[in-house]
Structures are given as structure tokens and as C-alpha cells.
Amino acid sequence: MKKITLSSNFSKTALEQASTSRVTIKIPKEMHSQLSIKTVESGYGLRGKSRWIRDQIERLNNYEGRHQFILDSMIMSNVEGVSDTITLSEDLRIVCWQLAIDAAIYGSRKDEPLYLEVYISHVIKASILLGLSLVKRKD
């Protein structure tokens, strides 16, 4: 499956100015704590969580093993945790939907099919995991 691209006139400023929507996700408490620390350490500040996550979604979109990574992150679907809300532009929300659909199709075509429901929260969680990963990943 091919990488999803945004329109050629897409830019970070367009992301900030575009119509946005809020998405609520549930992540494990430890992951939430690490997310806060990583956001500050990466120079995004205390209020830069949504911006950091948006950058990680773009990173996931460019990651070669993105479909399997999204499937692997589904383990967190039933985990008790903390609810958190982030803001996404409509362009990035569409990218998340496309990634989630592609991951679902990828999972259904495996030797041992894995059928999953399509949620953009799976993509957001996978993006956070990729961003928090200490292992150097090949983008």
C-alpha cells in the first residue's frame, strides 16, 4: 500500500489555520506521563501536545512498517487509562482515517487474518508509541 500524501499546497501554517476538530483518545497512564515529558523535552512546551502528536502522525505516515505498527498498537484498545483530547486539522484527520483503513485491509490480508474496527484513535496511539519509542526507527 502506498504512502498517503497531503495536497501539494499543505504546510504547517495551513495545518494551524485549517478547520480543526477535537479527538479524544484513551491511553495508559504511564504512556500519558511519558507523553508529557517527551513533549517538553522535544521543545514543544507544556501546551504543545497536539502539535507534537500531529508531527508524530506525519512521521508514522512516512514510516515503512506503519500498517503493522498500527495493528500492534491495538493491544492498547482495552487498557485502562487516561482520556486525553487532541486537536487535528481536517486534512490530518483524513490522513488518519486513510491510515486506519489501510491498516485494517493489511490486517485482513495477512496469512492469519486480523480483523479490526477502523478507528483513528488506533493511528493516534500508534503515532504516540512511535514518537515515544527509544529504538531508532528507520523512517
pLDDT at 55: 94
> Per the domain annotation, does 1 fall within a domain?
no
pLDDT at 113: 84
Instruction: Check pLDDT > 80 for residue 17.
Output: no
pLDDT: is 67 or 7 the higher one?
A: 67
> Per the domain annotation, does 96 fall within a domain?
yes
- 135 band by pLDDT with thresholds 50, 70 and 90: very low
pLDDT at 114: 79
> Per the domain annotation, does 4 fall within a domain?
no
pLDDT at 35: 93
Q: Sort strands 82-89 and 20-27 into parallel, antiparallel or unpaired.
A: antiparallel
pLDDT: is 77 or 114 the higher one?
A: 114
Whether the CB-CB separation of 63 and 112 falls below 8 Å is answered with: no
> Per the domain annotation, does 91 fall within a domain?
yes
Distance CA 82, CA 124 (A): 14
Q: Distance between the two ends of the chain, CA-based, in angstroms?
A: 16
Instruction: Check pLDDT > 70 for residue 24.
Output: yes
Which pLDDT tens digit goes with each residue over 36-87? 999 999 999 988 999 999 999 999 999 999 998 898 887 777 778 889 899 9
Of 45, 70, 85, 80, the C-alpha closest to 125 is 70
pLDDT at 81: 85
pLDDT at 20: 84
> Per the domain annotation, does 8 fall within a domain?
no
Total structural domains within the chain = 1
For the chain, give the longest Cα–Cα distance: 44
pLDDT at 8: 52
Domain hosting 102: range is: 19-132
Which pLDDT tens digit goes with each residue over 85-110? 999 999 999 999 999 999 999 999 98
